[in-house]
Amino acid sequence: MKLIVFEGIDKSGKSTLARAFNKATNYKHMTVDRLFMSQIAYSIIYKRARCIDSVRQFIEKFQAHEILIVYIKANKDIIEKRLDKINHEFINIERDQIVFDTVYEYINCDKMIVDTSNKSIEECIIKIKDFIGEVE
């Protein structure tokens, strides 16, 4: 069983994809909607105390090969539409994306990027399942 962490900026599709992935895999894996990648990124964005050392220790204790970061991305226009649809507060999409991209490169465990901009949920799930070796 892997810990699969769905990460990304607000309204990139994390929660929707995590729920669909759980159903598609019959809840075989432990999944989390945000964890340490978001903690680091938002600590940088909002100038909070840095937590990089504690995140590194977490990854080492959990064993990096048991963690998969699924970094969910979407283009700016799609994220703006999703934010507007729920009347979400303004976020600086470009800044947040740059910070998340930088943190993604720093993290040392299994990781992949899934862009939800022009793919169906089913296509995204197939990509994740293929990455972890579970394609039927």
Q: Where are the domains of the chain?
A: 3-131
Can you tell me the distance from the alpha carbon of 62 to that of 120, in angstroms, rounded to the nearest whole number? 32
Can you tell me the distance from the alpha carbon of 117 to that of 12, in angstroms, rounded to the nearest whole number? 8
- CATH number assigned to the domain with residue range 3-131, chosen from the 4 options 3.30.750.24, 3.40.50.300, 1.20.910.10, 2.60.40.10: 3.40.50.300
pLDDT string in tens for the chain (136-residue length):
778 999 999 899 999 999 999 999 998 888 888 887 788 888 888 877 666 666 666 666 666 568 899 999 999 999 999 989 988 888 899 999 999 899 888 887 889 999 999 999 999 999 999 999 886 6
The type of residue at 73 is K
Q: In the chain, which ranges are continuous DSSP H helix?
A: 14-24, 36-45, 52-62, 76-85, 93-106, 121-131
Query: What's the pLDDT at 36?
Result: 77
CB 57 within 8 A of CB 49: no
pTM, full prediction: 0.85
